[in-house]
Structure 1
Amino acid sequence: MGVKGFVEGGIASIVAGCSTHPLDLIKVRMQLQGEKVHAPNPQPIHNLRPAFAFHNLHVPHAPSLPLPPPPPPRASAGPISVGMKIVQTEGLAALYSGVSATVLRQTLYSTTRMGLYDVLKTKWAHKETGHLSLPHKIGAGLIAGAIGAAVGNPADVAMVRMQADGRLPMAQRRNYKGVTDAISQMAKQEGVASLWRGSALTVNRAMIVTASQLASYDQFKEMIIENHVMNDGLGTHVTASFAAGFVASVASNPVDVIKTRVMNMKVEPGSIPPYNGALDCALKTVRAEGPMALYKGFIPTISRQGPFTVVLFVTLEQVRKLLKEF
């Protein structure tokens, strides 16, 4: 029973992840809008020596001129224009940049969280009614999400980097050949610990997403059926999953923005990292771009989370029917 839950959840997650990958890529690019691309630290001025010098030469000071005002910040592009720019500058195939990492991530992270949630739900269900209370659903989601995220973090880091690579200047691109190459290069160049960069954020986000997504889907589905709004069929599954997708998007977007930026940051050897952690990233983001920066990419997040959740649960219900006899 337990193993079947992992298989069902894994199949549904991979189908949902691959079908909505371009929307996820657009979301990542939008979350990185407004962030400065950090170049390597320039050589300190005191180390630079002129080739020649004039001694005892008096040069009169020129009158100081007022500096021109800084240019206004560029308005953030919307999801359609971001998607069109990716296609125009990088080609249509760029919309599937990092899809191998998505497959690995769903295999590790989503299979684990979906399977564990199913196990906990079965274990904690009321013996007579078979139902699970909302607090127990949320608890099961929090535990399953945390463990799934810890398992899948290396694939998550690789996916974010592969999706973000196209926005960097050619000289700064990582040019990973695939998810295996990405993970091996990160381990060699930045150490094995880099594979778990942002893992605290990944775990927090996964706990929020899993608890809000899976628990709210089950809750909405039960409410629709028990109140005789619709029968247990495709209409109920689609309605409940759309509602669950909205709840998950609102709850997780701020953590998702910070997670994306921390995972994507480029740390040059011997230089100070752009961010010292999640809290430092959040504070710098809010100071530089305002509080609503934490909801950057919300439209593509909900545009992706909605279809992802629908495909996930509709596929899951169909896979359950197919594997019912096993």
Structure 2
Amino acid sequence: MSPPMADHKPKSDISFAGTFASSAFAASFAELCTIPLDTAKVRLQLQKKSVAGDALTLPKYKGMLGTVATIAREEGLASLWKGIVPGLHRQCLFGGLRIGLYEPVKTLYVGDNFVGDVPLSKKVLAALTTGALGITIANPTDLVKVRLQAEGKLPPGVPRRYSGALNAYSTIVRQEGVGALWTGIGPNIARNAIINAAELASYDQVKQTILKIPGFTDNVFTHLLSGLGAGFFAVCIGSPVDVVKSRMMGDSSAYKSTLDCFVKTLKNDGPFAFYKGFIPNFGRLGSWNVIMFLTLEQAKKFVRSIESP
């Protein structure tokens, strides 16, 4: 039976370059497969209560499947993949860094001579560190992805805000300044550090626990169960900061700060607003984690076969 990740050996058994490439590929593939659910999640999170006269108007988007169907019907099927280009930019940078650095940083925290099961606290600390570092570098790609996903069907004759990902980067810099590319960096660091910790640490821990159960081996079924666990923990813990991040990035002029966005969302939409899009978020993160970790394990296996003498 293969040893669980980081069990008795915190160091990675493949090079950093190999881990980075495997992580970037796995994250990008998962992004390509699941971005329609992410687009639905962003639309649900950005949807606010609107008042028409004395009565509240009915929300445009309802539920994951309803939102997907509405976007496809009104804007075309391709609109569900809005933001895929910056999404792939993001995953190559953020996915490669946060996962690629996880084992080295974990080794740094426990020490080179550590033997035994790495404590959960060290796994969480390592994942918080790599998540924060990775998204600090990749924030511009996240911003552009959200801006493109947020734009719905426009009235006839109204031009789109951005013609594409590269145009969005340049337009934001020209109109709002270079610093605007890091709009929402506060909630984004909080969200991605927390979600990264929930994903990587829980995947690490669940996999380690499963492999101690008689009859379980380091195979695809174990990776699938561990990936589902990682996605569930990530959504439960990270949904509130995810909503704040999406709202700040979708309409930065409406909020003065992260705290202002949090307070206004709570005041105007209530506490359940922080779990808007929970089902599509879990559908997205659950499936994303399963696809990503399954692909990652196979990619690392391939790299290991190349690097092994």
Return the TM-score normalized by structure 2: 0.88
> Distance in 2 between the 1:88 and 1:70 partners?
30
Q: Does 1:32 pair with 2:46?
A: yes
**Given residue 197 of structure 1, which amino acid in structure 2 is its aligned partner?**
T
Residue number among 276, 288, 302 corresponding to 1:308 in the alignment: 288
Which residue of the partner structure matches residue 46 of structure 1?
none
Q: CA deviation at 1:108?
A: 1.4
Mapped to 2, the partners of 1:140 and 1:173 lie a distance apart of 44
Distance 2:137 2:156 in 1: 32
Contact 2:203 2:229 in 1 (8 A): yes
1:110-151 residue CA offsets vs partner (Å, 9 max, x unmatched): 111111112213444574645321011001001000000101
Alignment partner of 1:71 out of 25, 45, 55: 55
User: What one-letter code is carried by the residue in structure 1 that aligns with 2:238?
Assistant: S
- Note if contact 1:158-1:183 (Cα within 8 Å) is conserved in structure 2: yes
Report what 1:80 is aligned to: 65
Partner of 2:204: 218
- Per-residue CA deviations over 1:71-119 (Å, capped at 9, x if unaligned) read 1352561111111111111001111111101000101111111111122
Which residue number corresponds to residue 153 of structure 1?
139
Query: Could you say if the C-alpha distance between residues 172 and 34 of structure 1 is closer, same or farther in structure 2, counting changes exceeding 3 Å?
Result: farther
Look up the match of 1:10.
Answer: 24
CA deviation after TM superposition for structure 1 residue 251, in Å? 0.6
Separation in 2, partners of 1:169, 1:146: 39
Give the 3-state SS of the residue equivalent to 2:54 in structure 1: coil
Distance 1:178 1:151 in 2: 21
Cα RMSD of the aligned pairs, angstroms, is 2.0
Matched, 1:250 2:214: no
Describe the SS at the equivalent of 1:226.
coil
Change (3 A) 1:26 1:170: farther
The question of whether the paired residues in 2 share the 8 Å contact of 1:5 and 1:119 is answered with no
Aligned-pair CA distance for 1:170: 6.0
- CA distance, structure 1, for counterparts of residue 233 and residue 154 of structure 2: 32
Cα distance in structure 1, aligned partners of 2:84 and 2:157: 23
Q: Return closer, same or farther for 1:173/1:287 CA change in 2, 3 Å cut-off.
A: farther
Q: Do the aligned partners of residues 152 and 95 (structure 1) sit closer, same or farther apart at CA in structure 2, a change above 3 Å counting?
A: same
Three-state SS of the structure 2 residue aligned to 1:25 is helix
Match 2:82 to one of 92, 97, 107: 97
Deviations 1:237-256 (A, max 9, x none): 00011011000011111001
CA distance in 2 between counterparts of 1:253 and 1:30 reads: 12
Alpha-carbon separation, structure 2, partners of 1:36 and 1:194 = 28
Cα deviation, 1:211-250, whole Å, max 9, x if unaligned, reads 1100000000000001225211011000011011000011
> What is the match of residue 114 of structure 1?
99
CA distance in 1, matches of 2:104, 2:156: 47
Work out which of the residue numbers 258, 261, 265 in structure 2 matches 1:278.
Answer: 258
Cα displacement (A) at 1:173 = 6.0
Query: 8 Å contact 2:50–2:56 — kept in the other structure?
Result: no
Structure showing greater radius of gyration is: 1
Does residue 34 of structure 2 align to residue 20 of structure 1? Answer: yes
Correspondence list, 1:140-219, <5 A: 140-166=126-152, 174-219=160-205
Does the aligned pair in 2 maintain the 1:124–1:132 contact within 8 Å?
no
Report the Cα distance in structure 1 between the residues aligned to 2:54 and 2:206, rounded to whole angstroms.
50
Deviations 1:244-283 (A, max 9, x none): 10000111110010100101116xxxxxx31111111111
Aligned-partner residue type, residue 202 of structure 2? S
Classify 1:146/1:192 alpha carbon distance in 2 versus 1 (closer, same or farther; 3 Å).
same
Distance 1:315 1:99 in 2: 19
CA deviation after TM superposition for structure 1 residue 200, in Å:
0.9
The answer to whether 1:323 aligns with 2:307 is no
Indicate conservation of the 8 Å contact 1:125/1:131, yes or no: no
2:294 is paired with a residue of what secondary structure? Answer: helix
- Could you tell me how far 1:2 is from its partner in structure 2? 2.0
Q: Which runs of 5+ in 2 are unaligned?
A: 1-14
Give the count of matched residue pairs: 290
Distance across 2 between alignment mates of 1:219 and 1:275: 38
